[in-house]
Chain A
């Protein structure tokens, strides 16, 4: 009994003495979107950044909505997000600064390969056809960048944003999970092209859902970096963030983004100015 007790206390003392901050050297905390993480881009890019600058980057991947909230609450130093209008609001509110565009891909509507309803139509026509036929549409429903874009597209098509309709399913989950739901239920969904290629790759190049609508200018999906403003969050590592921004908008990193491919297809196109 006494032995067990003293062993327990001993263990507790050992664990309590474990260092709270295990960070050695410079480190940056980043909040980013699921699409950059789930596609494997960050796993590919960030070791290169660390090798080039010696700065470690730690990232947490969530929807753009939560990423912006983490920035507002000073829990991170930098953001990579893809919801331009929400980003501009964020910067105007004084939470962030130095917003720089780094890369883009585009959103596409995917659906069953046998589709004859929306294939090749412009986006507004496609959404109208989905609504008119009550075809199953799967939405992220999670306030992410992709979700915000989808909502703006319904509005742009002059349609009320669906909510409780039987044919409208909101998963509240990440992009790949949402694509899987659409595939299981043989429905339509909107995704960024990068995540779709990742899905194609997961399916061994033979996905049940195909790209049906693409190429409209409104479907552009722009990713940007935003530094958290030190006037709002004095603890933010602004000096390191500047190094990161300079690196990712520089020629070397932009080339790395261009070279990131799955199934021989690029997932993101660099476009830093």
Chain B
């Protein structure tokens, strides 16, 4: 029983974080048909904001809010710096600018802060553990589960019940038609980047809360995870991103529990093999996106 609870908490907490990461990536992809490779750096920005404000004596919660706000600001900045100037040109141009922006941010962190890991302030509760039905689990896992439930519900509400959200879904299917109804393209794209930044910020807190430090390359793994989760789930579907995130977490956690110590260092190889099998079975991902679509 304890084992089952432990397993479930591990899958849900990892899956929640993965789902949020994937959602942040797919929101941009859905509308612009472009992978934002600077997405991982938004997580890094949140981490370094925590590090830079750590000596300020601010309460932790305020620092966290600031960190998320900075990720949102940098998300919108990504749109203005890397996407908007070349959006109408070509997919290749936007891909390269998004890589360039990612590199620029990473190198700025390397140059102006440090290549070495920096400690990020974490409230005590992040390092405490609790016992649930005999299973001992870090409280931060429960926080991650709670945060992902709240955020997934909030995103679902935004996308289904608000005019902005419905307009974003419409723009993801047919951008030109949405514009012909008066939906402003720039507002939709900036909103998508802001939402993506917000998710990256929260993921940053949860992710860095696991490791306790921030380095310039901290965003690489979340970017990769988000990318794989969206590929499994279906690049164009928001529910697909969530399903993909949880499925990837289930695979990772199961392998963690079952592989022997010698094999554990090859865990990613096993994960990717399974991902390949899933893609052979469902090349378009588990959940298909909208039927048609085009870029601006």
- On whether the two chains bind one another, the answer is no
Interface residues of A (CB under 8 A from B): none
